[in-house]
Protein backbone atom coordinates (compact mmCIF):
# COMPACT_ATOMS: atom_id res chain seq x y z
CA UNK A 1 0.00 0.00 0.00
CA UNK A 2 1.40 3.38 -0.97
CA UNK A 3 1.35 6.19 1.52
CA UNK A 4 1.52 9.92 1.29
CA UNK A 5 2.60 11.31 4.61
CA UNK A 6 1.42 14.73 5.53
CA UNK A 7 0.57 16.11 8.92
CA UNK A 8 -3.12 16.06 9.55
CA UNK A 9 -4.89 18.58 11.73
CA UNK A 10 -8.58 18.90 11.78
CA UNK A 11 -9.57 21.78 14.00
CA UNK A 12 -10.80 24.37 11.49
CA UNK A 13 -13.37 22.30 9.75
CA UNK A 14 -14.64 21.03 13.06
CA UNK A 15 -14.93 24.53 14.49
CA UNK A 16 -16.62 25.88 11.42
CA UNK A 17 -19.06 23.07 11.47
CA UNK A 18 -22.66 24.02 11.25
CA UNK A 19 -23.94 20.57 11.90
CA UNK A 20 -27.32 21.53 10.67
CA UNK A 21 -28.38 19.02 8.07
CA UNK A 22 -30.21 20.26 5.06
CA UNK A 23 -33.44 18.47 4.38
CA UNK A 24 -33.17 15.39 2.24
CA UNK A 25 -36.65 15.43 0.88
CA UNK A 26 -35.76 16.35 -2.70
CA UNK A 27 -33.50 13.43 -3.50
CA UNK A 28 -35.72 10.62 -2.35
CA UNK A 29 -39.29 11.63 -2.10
CA UNK A 30 -39.89 14.43 -4.51
CA UNK A 31 -39.90 13.76 -8.21
CA UNK A 32 -37.69 16.14 -10.13
CA UNK A 33 -39.63 15.56 -13.31
CA UNK A 34 -43.00 16.83 -14.34
CA UNK A 35 -45.18 15.17 -16.87
CA UNK A 36 -45.71 16.74 -20.24
CA UNK A 37 -47.66 15.57 -23.26
CA UNK A 38 -45.90 12.36 -24.20
CA UNK A 39 -42.57 13.33 -22.65
CA UNK A 40 -41.03 14.30 -19.37
CA UNK A 41 -39.26 17.54 -18.73
CA UNK A 42 -36.89 18.16 -15.85
CA UNK A 43 -37.76 20.91 -13.44
CA UNK A 44 -35.31 23.80 -13.56
CA UNK A 45 -32.38 23.69 -11.17
CA UNK A 46 -32.58 25.85 -8.06
CA UNK A 47 -29.74 26.67 -5.69
CA UNK A 48 -31.81 25.20 -2.88
CA UNK A 49 -31.41 21.81 -4.63
CA UNK A 50 -27.82 21.91 -3.46
CA UNK A 51 -24.40 21.93 -5.08
CA UNK A 52 -22.30 18.84 -5.70
CA UNK A 53 -18.60 18.77 -6.44
CA UNK A 54 -19.31 17.53 -9.99
CA UNK A 55 -21.51 20.58 -10.66
CA UNK A 56 -18.82 22.90 -9.40
CA UNK A 57 -16.16 21.13 -11.45
CA UNK A 58 -18.34 21.41 -14.51
CA UNK A 59 -18.89 25.13 -13.91
CA UNK A 60 -15.18 25.77 -13.31
CA UNK A 61 -14.24 23.81 -16.43
CA UNK A 62 -16.65 25.46 -18.86
CA UNK A 63 -19.58 27.76 -18.16
CA UNK A 64 -21.23 26.75 -21.43
CA UNK A 65 -21.23 23.10 -20.31
CA UNK A 66 -22.73 24.13 -16.99
CA UNK A 67 -25.43 26.09 -18.82
CA UNK A 68 -26.34 23.07 -20.95
CA UNK A 69 -26.61 21.01 -17.78
CA UNK A 70 -28.69 23.63 -15.98
CA UNK A 71 -30.98 23.67 -19.02
CA UNK A 72 -31.37 19.89 -18.68
CA UNK A 73 -29.56 18.85 -21.88
CA UNK A 74 -27.84 15.49 -22.07
CA UNK A 75 -26.64 13.36 -24.95
CA UNK A 76 -28.86 10.50 -25.99
CA UNK A 77 -27.20 7.09 -25.90
CA UNK A 78 -24.52 5.33 -23.99
CA UNK A 79 -21.92 6.89 -21.73
CA UNK A 80 -19.70 3.85 -21.37
CA UNK A 81 -17.02 5.36 -19.16
CA UNK A 82 -19.52 6.62 -16.58
CA UNK A 83 -21.70 3.52 -16.62
CA UNK A 84 -19.04 1.08 -15.39
CA UNK A 85 -18.01 3.39 -12.54
CA UNK A 86 -21.63 3.95 -11.48
CA UNK A 87 -22.28 0.22 -11.38
CA UNK A 88 -19.13 -0.57 -9.36
CA UNK A 89 -19.90 2.24 -6.90
CA UNK A 90 -23.44 1.05 -6.48
CA UNK A 91 -22.43 -2.57 -5.88
CA UNK A 92 -19.73 -1.65 -3.36
CA UNK A 93 -22.11 0.60 -1.47
CA UNK A 94 -24.66 -2.21 -1.14
CA UNK A 95 -22.02 -4.82 -0.36
CA UNK A 96 -20.55 -2.73 2.44
CA UNK A 97 -24.04 -1.99 3.76
CA UNK A 98 -24.74 -5.74 3.78
CA UNK A 99 -21.46 -6.32 5.65
CA UNK A 100 -22.43 -3.68 8.22
CA UNK A 101 -25.85 -5.27 8.66
CA UNK A 102 -24.27 -8.74 9.09
CA UNK A 103 -26.12 -9.95 6.01
CA UNK A 104 -22.96 -11.13 4.26
CA UNK A 105 -19.39 -12.10 5.08
CA UNK A 106 -16.22 -12.35 3.04
CA UNK A 107 -17.24 -15.85 2.05
CA UNK A 108 -20.70 -14.93 0.82
CA UNK A 109 -19.90 -11.57 -0.80
CA UNK A 110 -19.33 -12.96 -4.30
CA UNK A 111 -22.58 -14.91 -4.27
CA UNK A 112 -24.42 -11.79 -3.00
CA UNK A 113 -23.13 -9.78 -5.95
CA UNK A 114 -24.16 -12.44 -8.44
CA UNK A 115 -27.53 -13.45 -7.10
CA UNK A 116 -28.77 -10.31 -5.41
CA UNK A 117 -27.14 -7.18 -6.82
CA UNK A 118 -26.54 -8.03 -10.49
CA UNK A 119 -30.22 -8.92 -11.11
CA UNK A 120 -31.24 -5.62 -9.48
CA UNK A 121 -28.86 -3.71 -11.73
CA UNK A 122 -30.23 -5.47 -14.83
CA UNK A 123 -33.78 -4.63 -13.73
CA UNK A 124 -32.82 -1.01 -13.18
CA UNK A 125 -31.46 -0.86 -16.75
CA UNK A 126 -34.28 -2.81 -18.36
CA UNK A 127 -35.47 0.17 -20.41
CA UNK A 128 -32.05 0.62 -22.03
CA UNK A 129 -31.74 -0.07 -25.75
CA UNK A 130 -30.08 -3.27 -27.02
CA UNK A 131 -26.67 -1.62 -27.55
CA UNK A 132 -26.63 -0.08 -24.10
CA UNK A 133 -27.84 -3.33 -22.55
CA UNK A 134 -24.86 -5.08 -24.14
CA UNK A 135 -22.66 -2.56 -22.38
CA UNK A 136 -24.47 -3.18 -19.08
CA UNK A 137 -23.90 -6.93 -19.46
CA UNK A 138 -20.23 -6.34 -20.24
CA UNK A 139 -19.87 -4.17 -17.11
CA UNK A 140 -21.44 -6.94 -15.04
CA UNK A 141 -19.19 -9.55 -16.60
CA UNK A 142 -16.02 -7.50 -16.08
CA UNK A 143 -16.72 -6.54 -12.48
CA UNK A 144 -17.98 -10.03 -11.59
CA UNK A 145 -14.69 -11.43 -12.90
CA UNK A 146 -12.68 -8.90 -10.88
CA UNK A 147 -14.72 -9.06 -7.70
CA UNK A 148 -13.50 -12.41 -6.24
CA UNK A 149 -9.97 -11.00 -6.51
CA UNK A 150 -11.06 -7.72 -4.90
CA UNK A 151 -12.51 -9.63 -1.95
CA UNK A 152 -9.32 -11.69 -1.62
CA UNK A 153 -7.18 -8.53 -1.89
CA UNK A 154 -9.15 -6.61 0.78
CA UNK A 155 -10.61 -9.27 3.12
CA UNK A 156 -10.80 -6.75 5.96
CA UNK A 157 -13.45 -4.79 4.00
CA UNK A 158 -15.83 -7.67 4.55
CA UNK A 159 -15.30 -8.06 8.26
CA UNK A 160 -17.96 -7.21 10.79
CA UNK A 161 -17.47 -3.74 12.27
CA UNK A 162 -15.24 -2.52 9.45
CA UNK A 163 -17.55 0.30 8.36
CA UNK A 164 -18.44 3.16 10.68
CA UNK A 165 -20.76 4.72 8.14
CA UNK A 166 -22.09 3.51 4.82
CA UNK A 167 -25.08 5.83 4.60
CA UNK A 168 -24.07 6.79 1.09
CA UNK A 169 -25.07 10.45 0.89
CA UNK A 170 -24.13 13.67 2.59
CA UNK A 171 -26.27 16.76 2.61
CA UNK A 172 -25.00 19.62 4.74
CA UNK A 173 -25.18 23.40 4.98
CA UNK A 174 -21.97 25.41 4.88
CA UNK A 175 -21.82 29.21 4.84
CA UNK A 176 -25.26 29.48 3.27
CA UNK A 177 -24.72 26.78 0.65
CA UNK A 178 -26.17 23.29 0.59
CA UNK A 179 -23.38 20.81 -0.20
CA UNK A 180 -24.43 17.41 -1.48
CA UNK A 181 -22.78 14.24 -2.67
CA UNK A 182 -22.16 10.58 -2.10
CA UNK A 183 -19.64 9.07 0.24
CA UNK A 184 -18.36 5.59 -0.37
CA UNK A 185 -17.85 4.80 3.29
CA UNK A 186 -16.19 5.81 6.52
CA UNK A 187 -13.89 3.36 8.22
CA UNK A 188 -11.60 3.35 11.23
CA UNK A 189 -7.87 2.70 11.04
CA UNK A 190 -5.82 2.84 14.25
CA UNK A 191 -8.75 4.55 16.00
CA UNK A 192 -8.92 7.34 13.42
CA UNK A 193 -11.71 7.87 10.93
CA UNK A 194 -10.89 7.62 7.24
CA UNK A 195 -13.07 8.37 4.27
CA UNK A 196 -13.12 5.78 1.49
CA UNK A 197 -13.24 7.16 -2.04
CA UNK A 198 -13.44 4.65 -4.88
CA UNK A 199 -12.44 5.40 -8.46
CA UNK A 200 -12.54 3.16 -11.50
CA UNK A 201 -9.88 3.91 -14.08
CA UNK A 202 -8.65 2.36 -17.31
CA UNK A 203 -5.18 3.80 -16.81
CA UNK A 204 -3.33 4.47 -13.56
CA UNK A 205 -0.40 6.89 -13.65
CA UNK A 206 0.72 6.50 -10.07
CA UNK A 207 3.27 9.34 -9.90
CA UNK A 208 0.97 12.03 -11.29
CA UNK A 209 -1.98 10.68 -9.36
CA UNK A 210 -0.14 10.98 -6.05
CA UNK A 211 0.81 14.61 -6.72
CA UNK A 212 -2.66 15.53 -7.94
CA UNK A 213 -4.27 13.97 -4.90
CA UNK A 214 -2.47 16.38 -2.55
CA UNK A 215 -4.95 19.08 -3.58
CA UNK A 216 -7.73 16.99 -5.10
CA UNK A 217 -10.94 19.00 -5.25
CA UNK A 218 -13.31 16.09 -4.79
CA UNK A 219 -11.40 14.61 -1.86
CA UNK A 220 -11.27 17.95 -0.04
CA UNK A 221 -14.90 18.81 -0.85
CA UNK A 222 -16.03 15.46 0.55
CA UNK A 223 -13.70 15.71 3.53
CA UNK A 224 -15.04 19.15 4.47
CA UNK A 225 -18.68 18.09 4.06
CA UNK A 226 -18.28 14.82 5.93
CA UNK A 227 -16.49 16.42 8.86
CA UNK A 228 -19.35 18.91 9.05
CA UNK A 229 -22.03 16.26 8.84
CA UNK A 230 -20.48 13.70 11.17
CA UNK A 231 -19.15 16.30 13.62
CA UNK A 232 -15.94 14.29 13.99
CA UNK A 233 -12.44 14.74 12.63
CA UNK A 234 -11.45 12.60 9.66
CA UNK A 235 -7.80 11.68 9.34
CA UNK A 236 -7.73 11.50 5.56
CA UNK A 237 -8.88 9.76 2.45
CA UNK A 238 -8.39 6.12 1.57
CA UNK A 239 -8.25 6.43 -2.19
CA UNK A 240 -9.41 3.12 -3.62
CA UNK A 241 -8.54 2.69 -7.29
CA UNK A 242 -9.99 -0.18 -9.33
CA UNK A 243 -8.67 -0.72 -12.82
CA UNK A 244 -11.36 -1.37 -15.42
CA UNK A 245 -10.31 -4.40 -17.50
CA UNK A 246 -9.52 -3.25 -21.01
CA UNK A 247 -9.53 -6.65 -22.68
CA UNK A 248 -11.83 -6.69 -25.70
CA UNK A 249 -14.37 -9.40 -26.37
CA UNK A 250 -13.06 -11.55 -29.24
CA UNK A 251 -15.28 -11.93 -32.31
CA UNK A 252 -15.90 -15.59 -31.61
CA UNK A 253 -15.36 -15.45 -27.86
CA UNK A 254 -18.25 -16.38 -25.58
CA UNK A 255 -19.04 -14.28 -22.52
CA UNK A 256 -17.95 -17.03 -20.06
CA UNK A 257 -14.70 -17.46 -22.00
CA UNK A 258 -14.13 -13.71 -21.81
CA UNK A 259 -14.74 -13.72 -18.07
CA UNK A 260 -12.22 -16.54 -17.77
CA UNK A 261 -9.67 -14.52 -19.75
CA UNK A 262 -10.12 -11.51 -17.43
CA UNK A 263 -9.66 -13.78 -14.44
CA UNK A 264 -6.42 -15.14 -15.92
CA UNK A 265 -5.22 -11.64 -16.76
CA UNK A 266 -5.64 -10.63 -13.12
CA UNK A 267 -3.83 -13.79 -12.01
CA UNK A 268 -0.97 -13.08 -14.42
CA UNK A 269 -0.62 -9.36 -13.67
CA UNK A 270 -1.28 -9.47 -9.95
CA UNK A 271 -3.76 -7.66 -7.70
CA UNK A 272 -1.49 -4.63 -7.55
CA UNK A 273 -2.10 -4.03 -11.24
CA UNK A 274 -5.86 -3.94 -10.76
CA UNK A 275 -6.37 -2.66 -7.22
CA UNK A 276 -4.50 0.14 -5.48
CA UNK A 277 -5.14 2.06 -2.28
CA UNK A 278 -3.52 5.30 -1.26
CA UNK A 279 -3.73 6.90 2.16
CA UNK A 280 -3.89 10.65 1.72
CA UNK A 281 -3.62 12.85 4.80
CA UNK A 282 -4.53 16.50 4.37
CA UNK A 283 -2.99 18.98 6.78
CA UNK A 284 -4.53 22.13 8.19
CA UNK A 285 -3.04 24.38 5.53
CA UNK A 286 -4.56 22.19 2.80
CA UNK A 287 -7.99 22.40 4.40
CA UNK A 288 -7.78 26.13 5.09
CA UNK A 289 -6.75 26.98 1.56
CA UNK A 290 -9.42 24.70 0.15
CA UNK A 291 -12.15 26.29 2.30
CA UNK A 292 -10.97 29.82 1.40
CA UNK A 293 -11.13 29.01 -2.30
CA UNK A 294 -14.32 26.97 -2.11
CA UNK A 295 -16.37 29.89 -0.85
CA UNK A 296 -15.18 31.99 -3.81
CA UNK A 297 -16.12 29.22 -6.23
CA UNK A 298 -19.53 28.78 -4.62
CA UNK A 299 -20.21 32.50 -4.78
CA UNK A 300 -19.30 32.55 -8.48
CA UNK A 301 -21.52 29.54 -9.11
CA UNK A 302 -24.43 31.24 -7.33
CA UNK A 303 -23.93 34.43 -9.35
CA UNK A 304 -23.87 32.37 -12.55
CA UNK A 305 -27.09 30.53 -11.71
CA UNK A 306 -28.71 33.89 -10.88
CA UNK A 307 -27.63 35.29 -14.26
CA UNK A 308 -25.14 37.77 -12.75
CA UNK A 309 -22.10 36.18 -14.42
CA UNK A 310 -21.89 35.77 -18.20
CA UNK A 311 -21.81 32.42 -19.96
CA UNK A 312 -18.93 31.72 -22.34
CA UNK A 313 -17.21 28.70 -23.81
CA UNK A 314 -13.87 27.43 -22.55
CA UNK A 315 -12.54 25.77 -25.69
CA UNK A 316 -9.56 24.45 -23.74
CA UNK A 317 -11.81 21.99 -21.93
CA UNK A 318 -13.45 20.32 -24.95
CA UNK A 319 -10.93 17.59 -25.65
CA UNK A 320 -8.77 15.95 -23.01
CA UNK A 321 -8.65 12.80 -21.02
CA UNK A 322 -12.41 12.77 -21.37
CA UNK A 323 -14.04 14.52 -24.27
CA UNK A 324 -16.86 16.88 -23.40
CA UNK A 325 -20.23 15.29 -24.19
CA UNK A 326 -21.46 18.59 -25.67
CA UNK A 327 -18.93 18.83 -28.53
CA UNK A 328 -21.62 18.06 -31.18
CA UNK A 329 -23.90 20.70 -29.63
CA UNK A 330 -21.21 23.39 -29.62
CA UNK A 331 -20.06 22.39 -33.10
CA UNK A 332 -23.46 22.59 -34.80
CA UNK A 333 -25.16 25.00 -32.45
CA UNK A 334 -28.10 22.60 -32.47
CA UNK A 335 -29.14 19.96 -29.94
CA UNK A 336 -29.11 17.11 -32.45
CA UNK A 337 -28.57 13.90 -30.49
CA UNK A 338 -29.48 15.58 -27.20
CA UNK A 339 -32.63 15.53 -25.13
CA UNK A 340 -33.75 17.91 -22.41
CA UNK A 341 -34.14 15.16 -19.81
CA UNK A 342 -31.20 15.72 -17.48
CA UNK A 343 -32.33 15.77 -13.86
CA UNK A 344 -30.31 17.73 -11.28
CA UNK A 345 -28.43 15.40 -8.91
CA UNK A 346 -29.47 12.29 -10.82
CA UNK A 347 -26.53 10.38 -9.33
CA UNK A 348 -28.01 10.88 -5.86
CA UNK A 349 -31.46 9.79 -6.96
CA UNK A 350 -30.17 6.72 -8.79
CA UNK A 351 -28.26 5.64 -5.74
CA UNK A 352 -31.58 4.72 -4.18
CA UNK A 353 -32.36 1.95 -6.66
Q: Which residues bind ligand SF4 (CB under 6 A)?
A: 62, 64-65, 313-315, 317-318, 324, 326-327, 330
Closest to ligand SF4 by CB, 272 vs 315, is: 315
Nearest to 264 by CA among 245, 277, 251: 245
Smallest gap from Cβ 310 to ligand SF4, in A, equals: 14
Closest to ligand SF4 by CB, 202 vs 332, is: 332
> What is the rounded distance in angstroms from the CA atom of residue 18 to the CA atom of residue 177?
11
Smallest gap from Cβ 68 to ligand SF4, in A, equals: 6
Q: How far is CA 201 from the centre of its chain?
A: 12
328 backbone dihedrals φ, ψ, rounded to 5° = -60, -35
Closest to ligand SF4 by CB, 303 vs 319, is: 319
Closest to ligand SF4 by CB, 134 vs 314, is: 314
Nearest to 302 by CA among 177, 179, 173: 177
Closest to ligand SF4 by CB, 13 vs 58, is: 58
Smallest gap from Cβ 344 to ligand SF4, in A, equals: 18
Smallest gap from Cβ 54 to ligand SF4, in A, equals: 15
Smallest gap from Cβ 119 to ligand SF4, in A, equals: 37
Smallest gap from Cβ 65 to ligand SF4, in A, equals: 4
DSSP states along 184-242: --EEEETTEEEEEEEEEES---HHHHHHHHTT-HHHHHHHHHHHHHH-S---EEEEEEE
Going by the DSSP 8-state scheme, the letter that residue 163 receives in this structure is E
Span between the terminal Cα atoms of the chain, in Å: 33
Closest to ligand SF4 by CB, 137 vs 317, is: 317
| CA geometry: angle 159, 162, 167, nearest 5 deg | 120
Smallest gap from Cβ 43 to ligand SF4, in A, equals: 22
Closest to ligand SF4 by CB, 10 vs 63, is: 63
Closest to ligand SF4 by CB, 110 vs 330, is: 330
Beta-strand relationship, 74-75 and 192-201? unpaired
Residue 10, SS3? coil
Question: Are the C-beta atoms of 82 and 136 separated by less than 8 Å?
Answer: no
Contact residues for 170 (Cβ-Cβ < 8 A; gap 6+): 179, 180, 181, 182, 183, 222, 225, 226, 229
Q: Find the DSSP H helices in 101-129.
A: 109-112, 118-124
Smallest gap from Cβ 330 to ligand SF4, in A, equals: 3
Amino acid sequence: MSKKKKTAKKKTTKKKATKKKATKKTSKKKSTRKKGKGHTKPQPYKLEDGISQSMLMSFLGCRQRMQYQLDGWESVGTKDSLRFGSYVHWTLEHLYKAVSANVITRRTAVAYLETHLNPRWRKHNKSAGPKEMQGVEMDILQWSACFPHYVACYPEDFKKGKWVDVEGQFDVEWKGFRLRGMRDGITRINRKLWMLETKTKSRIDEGTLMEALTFDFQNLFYLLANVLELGKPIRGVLYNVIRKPNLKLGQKESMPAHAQRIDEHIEDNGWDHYFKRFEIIYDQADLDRFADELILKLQDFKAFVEGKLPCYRNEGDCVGRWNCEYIPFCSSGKPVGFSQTRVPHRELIEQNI
